[in-house]
Chains A and B, each alone.
Chain A
Amino acid sequence: MRFMRMTMVVAFVVAALPGLAKDKEAQFKSVEAKHFARAEGVELSPEFTDYLYAELRAELTKAKLFGQVLGEGEVVDAADAPSSIVIEGNITEYKKGSVAKDALIGFTAGWRSMKVDTTIKRRSDQSVVASPQIHVRASPRWKDKVLAKEAAHQIVNELKKAVKDKDAAK
């Protein structure tokens, strides 16, 4: 009886092992994030777009969907192009918010906000994988770069969702 129990436990553990594998196989060979453009009237410094770019790359590395996270303008082998994607974006709106409103009214009144239009394309044929529109908000008492952190997080989440949906549709 005891032997049977032990055998069953071992069988369960062995069956569950593939699911516990730490690293899933990367779905894309590489991803390239580009510096996002700023629409006219968006008062954000070039350092902000640099930071957004860095955060986006950090989030893409964490996502483990890609074999390699490339820097902007890196050469990609022609053979790898079909399984490589490029992320481009445009910051369309930025409101710097009001500390006074935030302090007096509260309930997110006077918060900073930023809208970003993102396009995720396949490198080989430029077909659009997803084009999420991101809207992030943060307290004006925090640095504006907090918005970049949140935006990068949301872009990668949208990308994950798009990939999941495509896999489910197949």
Chain B
Amino acid sequence: MVSRVLVGFGTVVLLALSAEASVAFADEPKPTPDNTIHVELTEPVKPQAFARPLKFFLTDVTDRSGNAQPMLVYKPRNGIFLDRTPVEITREALSNCLKSSDMLAPERESADFLLTVYLFRFGLTDSSGMDFFGKVELAVVVKNPKTGKSQQVSAAGTSIAGVALRKKNIQKHVLEDIDNAFGDALRNFLRGQSLRDAITALDVPPESNAPRATTPPASDKPIGTPIG
């Protein structure tokens, strides 16, 4: 009798464990065409005007978010995925913005400044629970290849969108939210005072770009004050 009860109890425990495992497996969302969104700027951000026409070259975009699943932007209800990585989206959008204002250098050698982008956050973040909070944070290292000097410019974009009940509407709001936050971050970078300050500090006038011929030869250099 006791053994029968034990067998029955064991069966119940095993069934419960297997059910739990199947629920956990079902919780892990998978990207499908239905739950994938395409983030793209509706129109390129126009960069600010500088004292002289400048060309920028986008050397690299690196994801520093530490997110193991950068394309999964919303986990509940089978998830919402991006169709490309945040790195690809940022590279394309920033290139388009610079290209639209004829500020994108075709190759590294012809650029006045090199841009290296580090992405710290791309997607949704914790909100009040009554809305979606989209946030994009990036830092751009602006380098003058002629002098080798560089400065870091930080930019961030935020957006708030209302919650929804239907999956279709949730997807629409999430897309709108990320689009706005991303556009806002690029705008914050390209039209920000920080970029202007960095360019002012790093830029050298074209006439002083030529290598200096006035460096005295080693023999002409002052030797130093005699001791004693």
Interface residues, chain A, with chain B CB atoms under 8 Å away: 47, 50-51, 53-55, 57-58, 71-75, 142-143, 145-146, 148-149
Interface-side segment among B34-42, B104-112, B154-162, B167-175? B154-162
Chain B residues with CB below 8 A from A53, complex form? 158
Nearest chain A CB to B182's CB is how many angstroms away? 12
Given contacts A54-B158, A54-B159, contact A73 B188 (CB under 8 A): yes
B187 touches A146 (CB 8 A): no
Chain A residues with CB below 8 A from B131, complex form? 149
| 28 pairs of residues in contact across A and B, judged by CB atoms under 8 Å | A50-B135, A50-B158, A51-B128, A51-B133, A54-B135, A54-B159, A54-B160, A57-B158, A57-B160, A58-B159, A58-B160, A71-B156, A71-B157, A72-B188, A73-B193, A74-B191, A74-B193, A75-B191, A75-B192, A75-B193, A75-B196, A142-B129, A143-B129, A145-B126, A145-B127, A145-B129, A146-B129, A149-B128
Given contacts A54-B159, A54-B160, A55-B160, contact A47 B126 (CB under 8 A): yes
Q: Is the interface of B mostly helix, strand, loop or mixed?
A: mixed
Q: Is the interface of A mostly helix, strand, loop or mixed?
A: helix
With most chain A CB atoms within 10 A of its CB, the pick from B127, B135, B196 is B127
With most chain A CB atoms within 10 A of its CB, the pick from B160, B184, B187, B193 is B160
